Amino acid sequence: MKQILVRECGGPEKMELVEVAKHAPGRGQVLVKLASIGVNFIDIYFRTGLYKAPAPVSLGMEGAGVVEAVGEGVDGVKTGDRVAYCMVRGSYAEYAVVPAAQIVVLPAELDFQSASAAMLQGMTAHYLTHSTYALKLGVTCLVHAAAGGTGGLIIQMAKMRGARVIGTVSTREKAVLAKESGADEVILYTECEFDQEVKHLTGGRGVDVVYDSVGAATFMRSLDSLKPRGMMVTFGNASGPVPAIEPLLLNQKGSLFLTRPALAHYAATREELLARANDVLGWVASGKLKLRIGRTYPLAHVAQAHIDLASRATAGKLLLIP
Ligand code: NDP
């Protein structure tokens, strides 16, 4: 079978399409024949070495397809089931061996591309808006990269929960997309000091919570966009990781709360994973949550997908088709 491997961390050219043996699933595992593969920013972090994994690194954390074989001790999933999963590396491939505990059986009406577009970013948006900071009517949130894959889903879930949403984007075209997702106001953070614009939009008060996936470039101004006792959720590093800060800074900027969450800790049990996945996939299947699939690429063109994602040229979700 074909698989993308990284023998040495570096640029997009380090991703090699190689022929490897197809493994049989072990105890508690299933073999999935992938039909569609999600591309996520985390794949770039593993490729560049920002996030560590032993070499050669098999990339890709999300996929959807058909179960081709099941190992011993697997309950609830059988050969022929249409499934999706995320948070298991190695999905940039024609087949993947996945722990059955990570597998979600798809609703009949959901296609593979939608499923592989929804799992990782959808569950992330779910935990951020429902658990890390449970949004509700009367609360205002700031969402960076609001036309991105995760950003567009955070906006929609924030609106479902009744919150007011201020989004930031780099271009006017992306501003239109963020509005389509439901953002109440959109700031072009490439053209102004966004914290000042946030203060202006909130009558000087600041927002209750910032969902910041951009990282180094936005971190300080995000803190300055918060109301006293507001919550800073720094959950990504698209512009680079946030440098160290003194806890005293949080006191000086208004007794702020700071958290750096990861999906794995918010889908930590099978029960929690299924609750979030069933919400997300159910909403997509019923049309309540809209996916924007920005572009699909053949698996062999993965380097172009990474170049596009890292260059801010994309909106919505990118997929690889094996
Ligand atoms: P996106 O589709 O959001 O793409 C990244 C976007 O970030 C770009 O389109 C761009 O939007 C913005 N951006 C701002 N500065 C830069 C920069 N210097 N380089 C590149 N992009 C920049 O990607 P994803 O939805 O896949 O991921 C978004 C973020 O969420 C990532 O940081 C990812 O790590 C994080 N994440 C975290 C999870 C967690 O549990 N902690 C889980 C899932 C995702 P614009 O042009 O509008 O500025």
pLDDT single digits (tens) 54-75: 999 999 999 999 999 999 999 9
Tell me whether the omega of the peptide bond preceding residue 56 falls within 30 degrees of 0, making it cis. Answer: yes
Ligand 1 shell residues, CB under 6 Å: 40-42, 120-121, 124, 145, 147-151, 169-170, 174, 213-214, 217, 235-239, 261-263, 309-310, 312, 314
**224 confidence band (pLDDT: 50, 70, 90):** very high
Burial per residue of 233-242, b for 16 or more beta-carbon CB atoms within 10 angstroms, e otherwise: bbbbbbbeeb
* Region 163-179 average pLDDT: 98
Q: What is the pLDDT of residue 45?
A: 95
* Region 268-296 average pLDDT: 97
Q: What is the pLDDT of residue 263?
A: 98
For the chain, list the strands marked E by DSSP: 2-6, 15-19, 29-39, 57-58, 62-70, 82-86, 95-99, 104-105, 140-143, 164-169, 185-188, 207-212, 226-234, 257-259, 293-298, 317-321
| Encoded tokens for 181 | 């997702």
Q: What is the pLDDT of residue 35?
A: 98
* Region 215-235 average pLDDT: 98
* Region 76-99 average pLDDT: 97
Q: What is the pLDDT of residue 122?
A: 98
Q: What is the pLDDT of residue 22?
A: 92
Q: What is the pLDDT of residue 267?
A: 98
Least Cα distance to 7 among 71, 39, 76, 53 occurs for 53
**208 confidence band (pLDDT: 50, 70, 90):** very high
Percent of the chain with pLDDT over 90: 100
Pocket test for ligand 1, best of 144, 169, 210, 214 (most atoms within 8 A of CB): 214
Pocket test for ligand 1, best of 312, 317, 320 (most atoms within 8 A of CB): 312
Q: What integer best gives the mean pLDDT of the chain?
A: 97
Q: What is the pLDDT of residue 210?
A: 99
Using DSSP bridges, classify how beta strands 29-39 and 95-99 pair: parallel, antiparallel or unpaired.
antiparallel
Nearest CA residue ID for atom 39, ligand 1: 262
Q: What is the pLDDT of residue 82?
A: 98
pTM here?
Answer: 0.98
* Region 86-110 average pLDDT: 97
Q: What is the pLDDT of residue 38?
A: 98
Nearest CA residue ID for atom 14, ligand 1: 214
Pocket test for ligand 1, best of 150, 276, 295 (most atoms within 8 A of CB): 150
Q: What is the pLDDT of residue 189?
A: 98
* Region 160-180 average pLDDT: 98
